[in-house]
């Protein structure tokens, strides 16, 4: 095994719970991966100077935008990929647990750019991954548990516009913020939308393109517009549903 392939295999062995993976890479491909990773680590070292807290290695891709970084906490081995917009301006800040990944071009926006209507913020548990192009408008508090997978372009909207008074514009009536909770070990499919006030139970799966308006019981598989329970994953979950 040549130099860069050997270094790549060693890095994989350090950062996964598995033994070194036999990946079919050329020497040039291994070098490219190591170079990109090294540059991301250097950017992370610079950003760590501005974060509220950072407990270990931080990897930051090109074109990442972080505002109010003094309200952001990052755990170990957090990866923020290219073009991510991460806004820390929120009452409860942004907390990214160990091993969290924010996919390319995703956006986390608790508040307006101008400091008006301060949002609540976001907490993501260890090992969770936010898919590329996803949008989390954390104006109401969003809590995402451990080992949660969000596919590409998932949308989480933790507030609703008030509209009952027809004598005023909807814009004038403000919003209600009920937040969103996604418990541990959930999988949210591509382009799913999670609306305000929803709690998604542990071990649940939300199908691609679903619009979730109501709570999802633990261990359920839901899909459709609006989402409904299609089946339960386990017999114990079926009995408790």
Side-by-side strand order, sheet with 199-200:
53-54, 72-74, 94-96, 122-124, 142-144, 180-182, 199-200
Tokens of 102: 């924010």
Q: How far apart are the first and last CA of the chain?
A: 53
Number of H helices, E strands in the chain: 3, 25
- What one-character-per-residue DSSP string does 177-197 give? E--EEE-SS-EE-TT-EEETT
Question: What's the half-sphere exposure (Cβ side, CA atoms, 13 Å) at 120?
Answer: 17
Query: Is-catalytic flag, 55?
Result: no
Pick the catalytic residue: 8, 15, 55, 161?
161
Pair type for strands 85-87 and 107-108: parallel
Residues catalogued as catalytic: 161
């Amino acid at each position: 095994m040549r130099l860069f392939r050997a270094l790549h295999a060693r890095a994989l062995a350090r950062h996964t719970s598995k033994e070194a993976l036999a990946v079919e890479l050329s020497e040039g491909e291994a070098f490219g991966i190591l170079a990109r990773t090294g540059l991301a680590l250097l950017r992370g070292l610079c950003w760590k100077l501005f974060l509220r807290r950072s407990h270990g290695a931080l990897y930051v891709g090109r074109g990442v935008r972080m505002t109010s970084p003094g309200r952001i906490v990052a755990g170990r081995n957090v990866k923020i990929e290219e073009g991510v917009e991460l806004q820390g301006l929120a009452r409860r800040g942004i907390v990214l647990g160990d091993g969290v990944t924010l996919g390319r071009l995703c956006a986390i926006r608790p508040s307006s750019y101008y400091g008006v209507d301060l949002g609540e913020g976001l907490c993501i548990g260890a090992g969770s991954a936010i898919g590329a192009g996803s949008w989390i408008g954390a104006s109401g508090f969003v809590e995402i548990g451990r080992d949660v997978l969000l596919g590409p372009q998932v949308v989480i909207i933790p507030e609703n516009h008030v509209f009952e008074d027809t004598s005023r514009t909807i814009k004038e009536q403000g919003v209600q913020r009920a937040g969103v909770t996604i418990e541990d070990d959930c999988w949210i499919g591509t382009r799913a939308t999670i609306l305000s006030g929803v709690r998604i139970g542990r071990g649940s799966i939300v199908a691609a393109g679903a619009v979730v308006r109501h709570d999802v019981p633990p261990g359920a598989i839901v899909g459709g517009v609006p989402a409904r329970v299609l089946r339960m994953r386990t017999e114990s979950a079926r009995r408790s549903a």
